[in-house]
Structures are given as structure tokens and as C-alpha cells.
Structure 1
């Protein structure tokens, strides 16, 4: 079976735009339902849709361990709740730039090349520039802390995700169901009946589709045809796309120093994706 060589690139790029646009729209709900409420909407609605489509209850123990799936869901819940907490304090583009250092660190730690020191230095430089901000708008330390915690769990997510990948979409649906069982009660406790407002539900469905369903399907297609390093380089553009989405949807502005930090993180992610090699290949 063959495919147009441009379609996988378009799918990967569209998935990245979808995720970052969904993140920006999610932040518009914070004044109404809070960050926990948004996480509950996104993961709860996504779990319902994915369970209907993929029927995770058909998974067998010999395919994927339910213990691993439970851990996968817990990590998914923590990753989402922490990054939304970060959005409460800092612009989405800065939070995403810090968060992508999680999978970047995993890639660096599974490589033996000396050039990896360059990606570490670039990411460290990016962190410094992002945190420095400018003299008028110092970045909130709480936002940095939440972003770093989200980065940690994104790195764990990459590792755990490989252990449950044998179940395909059913694994994702099962993990999303576990994540929803954690986030929905917390979100309900924070937002209460506000979660049932028609406008909130509508935006929540949009966020779930943009942040979970659509990018998942697009990424699955893209990863089928693109080498993993190429896919990783494409995803390194996430901070730039999130900055653009934040500017258009949320009217968030960044200083030149912070833009430089985002560029440095993007360069680190792209370089690592291009040159990193797993220890198992040596």
C-alpha cells in the first residue's frame, strides 16, 4: 500500500496544530471551571468517545497488562492536570516549551553520542531565557514548577506508553478511562454544576476533539509512514505553534528574550530527534 509522500507530513503538522490550538481553547475555560475542571472535561469526554470507538474491554491480559494500563492512565492524568495548572500561571507557549524537555531528556538519556551535550546546553539556555522573561514581566515560579513536573510525567509517559502500545487504540482508550476516573471527581469538586453549562460542555467537546481524538488519529497515521526521528523533528515545532495559538486565541505576548528561549528549546528537540541513537543499537 502506498500513500502520497506529503500526506504523513501534513498529518503530523496538523496533529501538532490541533493539540496546541486545543490547549489555548482549554485555557479560555479556566475562569469558569478552573484547571481541574478543564482536565476533567478533556479526559472525561475523550474517555467516553475513545471507549465507544475502540472498546478497551476487549483487551486480553496476554496483549497488555492491566497493571501497566493503570499506571499509564495515572501518568496521563497527572501530566494533563499539571500542565493545565502551569497554564494558570504562565503563557501556554512557555509551559509547553518547558514540558517538551521531558521527552527530550528521555531521548538524551537513551543515547551515547557526545553531541547530546549540545542539546542539553541548548535546552538549559532555553530554560534560562524563558525564566528570565523581561524586566516588566518576570515569569511566575509556580508556573515553571508545574511545567517541570508535567515534563517529568511526559517523560515517564513516553516510557510507559511503549509498554502498552501493543493494544493500539484500545490501550489509549483504557488509559484515558483510568485518567478520567482520577480527574473527573477532582474537576467536579472544583467546578461543580458549572461543568454542566451548555457553553462549557460545547467548548469541552472541542478541546477533547482538538487535544485528544483528532491528533491521536493523525499521529497514528503519520507515525506509520514517517521515520521516528523525522516525526520527532516535526513535533519540535510545538512551542512555536503554541506561541502562535496563545497570541491569536488568548492574546498572550512574549518578550524577545522568551522567544529566544522557545527557539533554543525547539533547536534542542530537533537536534536530539535527528541525531540521538538508542543504547540498544550499540
Structure 2
């Protein structure tokens, strides 16, 4: 008997939600490690262990790589490393949920770069409203505008790095996918490692820290990437992109449960604006058959 479509969709949807929960719970747990080795140290552990896992899985040395593809992979990996480092630096002073929402400015900007429809500009207006409420621009008395400016600068840098990661990744993806991802993550580890070593020193190699770093890498990279790949193969890209737009809300909930980070009602509204804008842009782009980047966090 042929499985009904609702039943067939249930497993990939559950896998995708589980992947997002794993990623953001891993990020929240990573933030709890900052007192031990600092934000740069945790970032180095996450990216370093992720690179080792991907190298073991894909063994990229088995395939030849031309100079042009290698150049794009290096740029892709450098953007990935900076994105991770800057995002973790931002988490030192601002909550996880707003940080993820602000970082979404990167992929949203890329998705809208080729836009020509009025509806898309209405969606970006909604995204701008959400960002305006989150950024420390209006001096709001209810605390929404009280996000640390330095932390916001870091997460805006992470958003720019995410946009570059998408653009470079589209070029790097012309090589074998597994080879590009594993070598890109290795490049990211090389970029981030000096910052982690400078901040944490020998503490980075303490056994409990290494175990925790491995757990962060599995929860924030290996497991969610695997679950997202499973879901993407069974869901159409439109549904996948819309569901990934829920990531800021999942991040805020993970931070509430793991770290006790409470947001104001207006901050939740701002995050909802970013989610709605991301979902709207994804829906409009897929209906017109344009290839736009997914907006799930890497």
C-alpha cells in the first residue's frame, strides 16, 4: 500500500525540526562554556571537531581538485570560519534568539539581491522592522533597544560573513559536495584556531573541555547537518526553506531553557517579523522558480 502524503512528510519534518533543535541547543550549550575557554575557544573547538568529523566521513583527498575550485573553497571556508567566530563573539553579550534573528539579515539580503517584485520589498520592509526593534537604534524604554552595541556589531559582521558564505559556497559547490564541505570546514578551522588559542591557551586542551567541544560539534554541526540532508531529500525546497525560517524562535526557546535567557514581548514580536519575512521571501522565490539560498544556520 502506498504511504499517504501526510504520513510520508511527517518523518522529514520531524527530522528537520530535530536538527534545528539540536543546532540551537548546541549553541546554547556552547555559550555556557564561555567562562572556561572564551567565545573564540569554543568556536575553535566546534569548527575544529566538525572539520575532523567531515574529513573522516568524506575523505576529500580521494578526489582531485583544480586550482579554481580550490580557490573558491578557501574563500568559502574563510567566510564560514569568520561567521562562526563572530557569531560566538556576539553571544558573549546578547541573547541567542535575537542574535540568530539579526544574523538572518545576511541570507535575506542575498535572497533579495535579484528581487524585482513589489511583494518581496514588502517582506524586506517587515524584516527591517524586526531588525529595527532588535538593534540598539531607537533607545526604546522597554529594553528592546538595550542590546549591547558591540555584540550587535559582531553579529552584523556574522551576517555579512553568512552572505559571503552563501555566495562563495555556490561557487565552491561546483566541486564534489562532500569534498567542498569538508575542505571548507578545515579551512574554517585554520582561520579560527589562532583566535581560540590566543584566548584560551592550554586550557583548550583540557580533557573535560575537549569532550564538551566534541559534544558541541556533534550537536551543532554533525547531527543537524545529517538530519537536514535527510529532510531536504524528501521535502520540496520551498517547504524546507519555510520551515528553516523558524530557526530564530527555536534559538530563543533553546536559550530560555538552557541558559534562562528571557526576552521581552516586543523582542519576540521582532523575531516573529524576521521569521515571517524569511518565510514570505522563500515562498515567493520558489513560486517563481528562482534559486535562492536556504536560510537555515550553517
- TM-score normalised according to structure 1 size: 0.93
How many angstroms does 1:278 deviate by?
Answer: 6.3
Q: Which moved more, 1:215-224 or 1:19-28?
A: 215-224
Q: Which residue of 2 aligns with 1:218?
A: 227
* C-alpha spacing 1:228/1:215, structure 2 compared with 1 (3 Å): same
| Residue of structure 2 aligned with 1:259, choices 264, 268, 278 | 268
The answer on whether the counterparts of 1:28 and 1:250 sit within 8 Å (CA) in structure 2 is yes
Q: Is the 8 A contact 1:133 1:139 kept in 2?
A: no
1:1-282 equivalences in 2 (<5 Å):
4-61=8-65, 65-131=69-135, 135=141, 137=143, 138-165=146-173, 166-276=175-285, 277=288
Deviations for 1:112-131, whole angstroms, at most 9, x for unmatched residues?
22101111111111012213
Write the deviation string for residues 119-155 of structure 1: whole angstroms up to 9, x where unpaired.
1111111012213586364111111111111111111
- Which structure 2 segments of 5+ residues have no match? 293-298
Task: Quote how far apart the aligned CAs of 1:111 are.
Answer: 2.5
- Aligned residues of 1:112 and 1:279 also touching (Cα < 8 A): no
CA contact (8 A) 2:9 2:235 kept: no
* Distance of aligned partners of 1:266 and 1:193 in 2 relative to their CA distance in 1, 3 Å threshold: same
1:66-115 per-position Cα deviation (integer Å, ceiling 9, x unaligned):
11111111001000001011101100111100001211111111332210
CA distance in 1, matches of 2:66, 2:208: 43
Shift in alpha-carbon separation, 1:229–1:50, aligned structure 2, 3 A:
same
Identify the range of structure 1 (160-169 vs 106-115) with the bigger mean alpha-carbon deviation: 160-169
SS in 2 for 1:225: coil
TM-score, with normalisation over the residues of structure 2? 0.88
Name structure 1 gaps, 5 residues minimum: none
C-alpha separation in 2, matches of 1:133 and 1:262 = 18
SS state of the match for residue 23, structure 1?
A: helix
Quote how far apart the aligned CAs of 1:210 are: 1.0
Work out the number of aligned pairs and report it.
280
Q: Residues 183, 280 of structure 1: CA spacing in aligned structure 2 closer, same or farther, 3 A cutoff?
A: closer
In 1: Cα distance, 2:183 partner to 2:16 partner: 24
Preserved contact between residue 110 and residue 278 of structure 1 (Cα < 8 Å): no
